[in-house]
Amino acid sequence: MESFSTFNISKQLHYAIEDLGYEKPTPIQSQSFSVIQSGKDMVGIAQTGTGKTFAYMLPLLQGLPFSKEINPRILVIVPTRELVIQVVDEIEKFAKYMDVRVLGVYGGVNMNRQKEAVVLGCDIIVATPGRLYDLVLSRALQLKSVRKLVIDEVDVMLDLGFRFQIINIFELLPNRRQNIMFSATMTDDVNELIQDFFQAPTTISVAVSGTPLDNIQQYCYSVPNFYTKINLLVDLLQKDEEYSKVLVFVSNKRSADLLFTELEDIFTSEVAVIHSNKTQNYRIRSIENFNNEETRILVTTDIMARGLDLDQISHVINFDTPPFPENYMHRIGRTGRAEKEGVSILLSTEKEKGYKEAIEALMEVKIPLLKMPLEVDISKKLTCDEQPKHRERNNPLNLENSGKGFHEKKEKNKKENLGGSYKRTIKKKYKKPKTKGDKNFNKRNKKK
């Protein structure tokens, strides 16, 4: 493969690459460099771990002349605060020998400090969509000088419901700009955004979703229920030499908290949890501790973990089986990185069997099934979701059985609710709003 010496980049960037110890460009870096440098719009389909941050930053830094301009010229939008911190950190390493001002802004913390920082000026701003928009609305930040827009982890961003914020931001940007987008998966939503806002982009895809990474050994256990999964997990995690740095995935915040409480009883400070309901500081501390190997086990949800650069994970444990097979690919991709061996373990109940089959179909690989260790207790305890739904077959009020209401509706109750009509009727009748406290009502109506 080609080396960085064939890239037409400055000495300063070559020195930074040397310091980082990168020997050769990764595939996404080789393929995107000339496209981004040419100024064309680009869509990169690449997961975290492929070197995508450097893939867009290298040509952008190379093309960024020194300037004292206050307004940013490069805008990088990412879905989570953690990713802002991480990307800023990476850019600072890449631009170590350059005179480049990088600023990260994200929500969940006081905006005044960020306003002060923005006013001082920067060349590159890395932001979450909501906070970026608020800073623009508060007039602290102007986007009129942005010539390069990077949107990273677009699929996560759309998943989190940021579509409108992204579109609002597009509206605030100058028309003459280069758009660069990265997404781990191509979804209908992502495609729609590209169609609406990109101009004949070049698409570069480096990781076909569904390709299991060669250096990951995958196994699965068939487990009857949640609490038996906990027993099995505890049994595995007790082998602390082998399970040296473990990322445990669950699909939602509730299960994450439940699992964390159970594990904390046994492993105390060796375990931490992150999800979007945890405070910003707590999350940052948890990730730092995990990266410094102060905590050995990190429980996380899919969305929280995506995009985080966590190194040297020995084991990924899929506590539940994700319904979207792509999420399994993302999860296991957090281990076995940088040519190190990694292990992934999937815990599946009978109910989750279909999801497991979908994953196997996507990878075209059957995940080897391991025997439940004899010492693991099979729990009879069930979570609320696992408990059988109680049905009274002969109860006439049990509408599920009869398929329709117990008695016919009265005439007045048969009316269809067309939505909001009550408010409209009242307004028409009394010519004033039903709700109290609309102080501007009289003013508005005087003008008419």
Structural tokens at position 441: 């009502």
Listed ranges 19-27, 124-132, 279-287, 376-384: which one lies at the site for ligand AMP (CB under 6 A): 19-27
Sheet containing strand 148-151, strands side by side: 102-105, 124-127, 74-77, 148-151, 178-183, 42-45, 202-205
One-letter amino acid for residue 139 of the chain: R
**Candidate list 30, 31, 32, 48; residue touching ligand AMP; CB under 6 A:** 48
- By CB under 6 A, tell whether 213 contacts ligand AMP: no
- By the rule CB under 6 A, 52 interacts with ligand AMP: yes
The whole-angstrom distance between residue 342's C-alpha and the CA centroid of its chain comes to 22
Q: Which of 143, 123, 124 is nearest to 133 (CA)?
A: 143
- In angstroms, give the least distance from the CB of 76 to ligand AMP: 12
Measure the CA–CA gap between 397 and 393, rounded to whole angstroms.
10
List the one residue from 44, 51, 59, 201 that touches ligand AMP (CB under 6 A): 51
- 185 sits near ligand AMP (criterion: CB under 6 A): no
Nearest approach, Cβ of residue 337 and ligand AMP (Å): 7
Among 50, 228, 286, 300, binds ligand AMP (CB under 6 A): 50
Give the angle 442-445-446 at the CA atoms, nearest 5°: 85
**Minimum CB separation from ligand AMP for residue 25, in Å?**
5
- How many other CB atoms are there within 10 angstroms of residue 381's CB atom? 10
229 binds ligand AMP (CB under 6 A): no
Does residue 56 bind ligand AMP (CB under 6 A)? Answer: no
Count of chain residues binding ligand AMP (CB under 6 A)? 12
- Range 305-324, binding ligand AMP (CB under 6 A): 309
Site for ligand AMP in 363-382 (CB under 6 A): none
Provide the phi-psi class of 71: left if phi over 0, else alpha when psi is between -120 and 50, else beta. beta
Q: How many angstroms from the chain centroid is the CA of residue 375?
A: 37
Give the SS3 label for residue 205: strand
Percent helix, percent strand, percent coil in the chain, to nearest 5: 40, 15, 45
- Residue 285: CB minimum distance to ligand AMP, A: 21
Asked if residue 330 binds ligand AMP (CB under 6 A), the reply is no
Q: How far is the CB of 244 from ligand AMP (least distance, A)?
A: 19
* Contact region with ligand AMP (CB under 6 A), list: 20-28, 118-126, 322-330, 370-378: 20-28
Q: Residue 71 in contact with residue 145, Cβ under 8 Å?
A: yes
107 binding ligand AMP? (CB under 6 A): no
**Residue of the chain from 7, 54, 162, 227 that contacts ligand AMP (CB under 6 A):** 54
Residues that bind ligand AMP (CB under 6 A): 22, 25-26, 29, 48-54, 309
